[in-house]
Amino acid sequence: MFSTIATFKGGVHPPEAKEASRDKEIKTLELPGKVVLHLQQHIGAPLEAVVEKGAEVKVGTLIARPTGFVSVPLHATISGTVKAVEECLHPAGLNMQAVVIEGNGKDEWEPVPAVAADYSGLSVDELRKRIQEAGIVGLGGAGFPTHVKLSPPAGKTIDTFILNGAECEPYLTADFRQMLERTADLAAGIRIVRRILGCGRVILAVEDNKPEALQALAEKFGEEEGYKVTGVQTKYPQGGEKQLIEALTGRQVPTGGLPMDVGCVVQNVSTVLSIYDAVSRNLPLIEKVVTLTGPAVRNPGNYRVRVGALVEELITRVEGAVPGNLGKAIMGGPMMGLALPSLDVPVLKGTNGLVLLEEPVPVSAHLPCIRCGSCVDTCPIRLMPCELALFAENDRWDKCREYFVKDCIECGSCSYTCPAGRNLVQLIRFGKYKVISEDQRKKK
Amino acid sequence: MANILHVSSSPHIYTRESVQRIMLTVVIALLPAALGAVYLFGTRALILILVAVATAVGAEALCQKIRGVPVTIRDYSAVVTGILLAFNLPANAPWWMAVIGSVFAIAIVKQLFGGIGYNIWNPALVARAFLLASWPTTMVSNTDYPAPRGGTLSGLTLEGITQATPLQLIKNNIAPVFKQISAYSASEVETARKALDGLAGADYFGSLFWGRVGGVLGETSAALLILGAVLLLVRGYIDWRVPAGYIASVAVLAWIFGGPQGYFTGNVLFHVLSGGLLLGAFFMATDMVTSPVTRQGKWIFAVGCGALTMLIRLKGGYPEGVSYAILLMNTATPLIDSYTKPKIYGGS
Ligand code: SF4
Ligand code: SF4
């Protein structure tokens, strides 16, 4: 059952802002008329398109295939005709190769090879293969292919699997709703992951502002050996992998290392559900549950949408959600999400929320650092953001390195807390990029 | 939906804290002591405070105009400097001293270094040191400081003792007697002993607590300073480590070395409550810009301030050491910060 409230050092308490959508059941939105599927949906080897303009596709048709192990295939998410394979605006603001499909409104599916309802006979390798073939990647714009995370190299033993149900970003409730509405599937998915990893201990961690989800999971697992459902303190970034591992196991991922190095694997709720869908029903990742919310949204809620659907179309499908004085559209949460350059960009595999802010949007003050130390106290990695930002501003890359710029997880806690309104993350991210590219140059 | 969307780096929301809010709260926290100063020292105190604040704000605006940078007087930081500068003047200081001090603090110590955030030393304290060097008689005269309403300059009403501020009394009139008892007459020794007992009496702590002793405007009433400090501590605008480390180290050193009659006989409460320690520990050593950002650094800074304060009080040329102690530690702050980097997550 639940135990005492674990947490990590540092962090901030932004307003949770989840009330607007937390009690809204997940609704499936009407099919989009068009989808844009970027070939670059994740970190790792690039994809190669296998369809051309004019090709007829169904839901689940393979449209791009991976070129390496750290990569996953991409499938059509609606049925219709490939209109183009061309550069399209990516949420990150660049133009990148994408397959554009115009829907025929029929929602025809590729016949999925029937799978036995009982998948317990599959080997661990077969399970991993299904996960890869389903095209599953983790959260965020830089989602990491999930099967890779589930394939610890020889010599590394995983003793703990952590289900990340923290959902610590303000506004977002997609994981919360899925924990409530798909508890049985989630539990089955967790058992699949445990089998793949062969680990003894599973910890299901949920922030304590979601007692219903804790309750639902606790009922599923009861006192079962090896499973522990635990509340973690509601604090940002509780759902950061490193923070969760610190809070739950007391271990720290070594700098430059991976959770695997300390025997842990962390997966979030929607990823585990996608794993369940892939293994039990042979379904590729074609849908995401997205929280559409924020002060500019009149009808906030949680919606099941097709990957590749354009944000603009999605908003118009939600009755009454058309914002009059939209000022900023954020893909993801307000702490780490991307500010969209336009609404003409698609939902990605790693998208979990769209937060729309009204004019006037909050802007930072851009005053000089007053050395209040707030950023130092809140940085969950215990960096000195004020110093890193100054070094980055003055091109002191050597100093950035000395102050561990590469360890920054870009959580945004420092910028959030800064009373001078310094754009700390932006500066630090730049410093990090400089130091990493210097490293790569040296390697060559 | 032809809106133009704002695009900026994450995060997209910010705390409601701001420099302005912090500085305004500091001003509010200084008000009890300011009103106390007006009560204790009369309109002269009010005039000095108002002149110092007005000059500081005016100087800030003028300097920024000249430098061609945005005028930021609305952040209240110049108001804070003005009040603190006035708090470091005796009530008999002429008004123009408040003007010179404020202009010096803002123009030279703050704006010349680049404005808020860039100054190395606390502006009000450097300005005080400057005034002290230029007009030593007004700033540290033994007997000229006016007595507060309802009290005396030393806080004692003993026959035969010189009226001076408490720290001056102990340093210049009491301590020397015990150093060389044979050189003084029996009655002189007796007076010194009585004075020493008086400084340890319960009544005397009442006087120090409520401000019925002499001193510069802002330092006399411990109660009013603590009242303001509580507000800043509760709001998290000052880190408790700095006043705690500072006051505790003064207390320990005062106990060990502070007694004119030998080791471990020091009057701890006297050293903590008299002079400018509370004003310094709560409102000046805690200045964000000039103190370390790391927690470990704050401890080092605080203990350094405490040690230097006691060194000056007991061995130095001045009766009070708070300002110089803080200024010296301000100088060490960048070094302290660079040597107290926190151990990072996952670091070895
Ligand atoms: S420095 Fe990086 S890790 Fe630390 S608070 Fe800022 S964004 Fe987060
Ligand atoms: S929070 Fe902002 S003002 Fe405070 S030390 Fe960090 S960068 Fe400077």
Tell me, yes or no, if A326 comes closer than 8 A to chain B by beta carbon. Answer: yes
Dihedral over Cα of B132, B135, B136, B137: its sign: negative
**Chain-wide mean pLDDT for chain A?**
92
Q: Which chain B residues touch A if contact means CB-CB below 8 Å?
A: 1, 3, 5-15, 17-19, 21-22, 72, 75, 114-118, 239, 288-295, 298, 337, 341-348
Asked if A16 reaches chain B (Cβ–Cβ under 8 Å), the answer is no
Query: Residue B341's pLDDT is what?
Result: 95
Give CA B4 to chain center in angstroms.
51
Residues with CB under 6 A from ligand 1: A 379-381, 383, 385, 408-414, 424-425, 428
Give dist(CA B103, CA B57) in Å, integer.
9
d(CA B271, CA B320): 10
Q: Between β-strands A353-358 and A287-293, what pairing exists: parallel, antiparallel or unpaired?
A: parallel
pLDDT of B52 above 50? yes
Is the pLDDT confidence value at A4 over 60? no
pTM: 0.93
Average pLDDT of the segment spanning B251-255: 97
CA B200 to chain A, closest CA, distance in angstroms equals 38
For residue A228, what pLDDT is reported? 95
DSSP A404-417: TGGG-----HHHHH
pLDDT(A64) > 50 = yes
pLDDT confidence of residue A70: 84
Least confident of A226-230, A358-362, B11-15, B337-341: A358-362
> Please, which residues bridge with residue A358 across strands?
A326
Domain locations along chain B: 19-140, 166-214+235-339
Residue B137 has pLDDT above 90, yes or no: no
pLDDT value, residue A118: 76
Which of the four pLDDT bands, split at 50, 70 and 90, describes residue B293?
very high
Q: What pLDDT is stored for residue A322 in this prediction?
A: 61
Confidence band for B23, pLDDT divided at 50, 70 and 90 = very high
Tokens 């540290």 identify what position? B140
Report whether A168 belongs to an annotated binding site: no
In which band, very low, low, confident or very high, does the pLDDT at A143 lie, cut at 50, 70 and 90?
confident
Q: What is the pLDDT of residue B160?
A: 79
Whether chain B has a CB inside 8 Å of the CB on A426: the answer is yes
For residue B258, the SS3 value is coil
What residues contact residue A233 under an 8 Å CB cut-off, 6+ apart? A5, A6, A7, A207, A208, A247
Using the structure block, give the residue that is written with the tokens 């004085």.
Answer: A325
- Assigned token pair, A179: 């924990």
- Spatial CA neighbour of B297 closest among B267, B335, B266, B263: B335
Q: Is the pLDDT of residue B144 over 80?
A: no
Q: Are strands A80-89 and A27-28 parallel, antiparallel or unpaired?
A: unpaired
Helix (H, G, I), strand (E, B) or coil at A236: strand
With a cut of 70, say whether residue A2 has pLDDT above it.
no
Q: What is the 3-state secondary structure (H, E, C) of A355-406?
A: EEEECCCCCCCCCCCCCCCHHHHHCCCCCCHHHHHHHHHCCCHHHHHHCCHH
Check the CA dihedral B292-B297-B303-B309 and report its sign. negative
Residue B318's pLDDT is 85
Q: Stretch A371-389: mean pLDDT, rounded?
A: 97
Q: Which amino acid is at B60?
A: E
pLDDT computed for residue A323 by the predictor: 62
Instruction: Say if residue B94's pLDDT is above 90.
Output: yes
Q: Cβ contacts (< 8 Å) between B117 and chain A: which residues? A: 367-371, 420
Alpha-carbon gap: A75 to the closest alpha carbon of chain B (Å): 30
Taking contacts as CB-CB distances below 8 angstroms, the residues of chain B near A383 are 342, 344
Residue among A377, A417, A418 to mutate when testing ligand 2 (max atoms within 8 A of CB)? A418
Is the pLDDT score of A205 beyond 70? yes
**Candidate from A79-88, A123-132, B154-163, B307-316 with smallest mean pLDDT:** B154-163
Minimum mean pLDDT range among A28-32, A267-271, B145-149, B158-162: B158-162
Which CA distances in Å does A135 have to A76, A78, A145, A436? 11, 15, 8, 28
Residue A82 phi, psi (nearest 5):
-70, 120
Return the bridge partners of B134, or none.
Answer: none
Q: Which residue of A has its CA nearest to B291?
A: A371
pLDDT, tens only, A302-338: 999 999 999 999 988 886 666 678 899 999 999 999 9
* pLDDT band for position A141 (cuts 50, 70, 90): low
Mean pLDDT, rounded, for A267-285: 94
Q: How confident is the model at residue A140 (pLDDT cuts 50, 70, 90)?
A: low
Q: Say how far apart CA B128 and CA B146 lie, in whole Å.
A: 18
CB-closest option in B1, B10, B116 to A322: B1
The ligand whose atoms approach the alpha carbon of A379 most closely is 1
Residue A420 has pLDDT above 50, yes or no: yes
Radius of gyration of chain B (CA): 22
- The domains of chain A, with CATH numbers, are 3-23+114-281 (3.40.50.11540), 374-443 (no CATH)
The ipTM value here is 0.93
Residue B142: pLDDT over 70: no
